[in-house]
């Protein structure tokens, strides 16, 4: 364990797995956050902060959101919609864009210029 540099007493820096284990111990029926914190040599306020991170899913092993490969076709949208329309009478699709502070959902046939304008407006 690394030692965290602080003004006073130095506390060991806990890994995500250790913090998650401590938090999960406090979630057991009848467990006391202050007793668990004391037994682990951690300030109870720190454990409460870890519990908040735990509820937000930020103590998982994942370091960030998973990225998926995307392939952009050179085919014009009209052709792609026409091909899809042959399979089904009505072009149906859903695009979800999550920017963290905003979420955009586009249903049906999507106009590329409209999508570009919407996303650019949200990124400003």
Reference 115, options 68, 74, 67, 77; nearest CA is 77
Sign of CA dihedral 95, 98, 99, 105: positive
For the segment 62-74, the average pLDDT, to the nearest whole number, is 65
Beta strands in 36-124 (DSSP E): 94-98, 103-107
Sign of CA dihedral 41, 45, 49, 55: positive
For the segment 95-122, the average pLDDT, to the nearest whole number, is 75
Mean of the per-residue pLDDT values of the chain: 76
Per-residue pLDDT at 19 exceeds 50: yes
Residue 106 and residue 115 in contact, taking contact as beta carbons nearer than 8 Å: yes
Residue ranges of domains in the chain: 1-65, 77-123
Name the CATH topology of 1-65. Answer: Arc Repressor Mutant, subunit A (1.10.10)
Per-residue pLDDT at 14 exceeds 80: yes
Provide the whole-model pTM. Answer: 0.45
């Amino acid at each position: 364990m690394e030692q965290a540099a602080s003004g006073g007493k130095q506390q060991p820096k806990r890994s995500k797995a250790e913090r998650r284990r401590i938090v999960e111990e406090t979630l057991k029926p009848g467990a006391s956050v202050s007793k668990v914190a004391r037994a682990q040599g951690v300030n109870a306020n720190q454990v409460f902060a870890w519990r908040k991170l735990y509820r937000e899913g930020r103590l998982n092993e994942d370091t960030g959101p998973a990225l998926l490969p995307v392939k952009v076709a050179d085919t014009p949208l009209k052709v792609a919609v026409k091909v899809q329309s042959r399979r089904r009478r009505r072009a149906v699709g859903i695009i979800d864009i999550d920017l963290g502070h905003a979420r955009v959902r586009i249903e049906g046939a999507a106009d590329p210029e409209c999508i570009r304008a919407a996303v650019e407006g949200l990124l400003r």
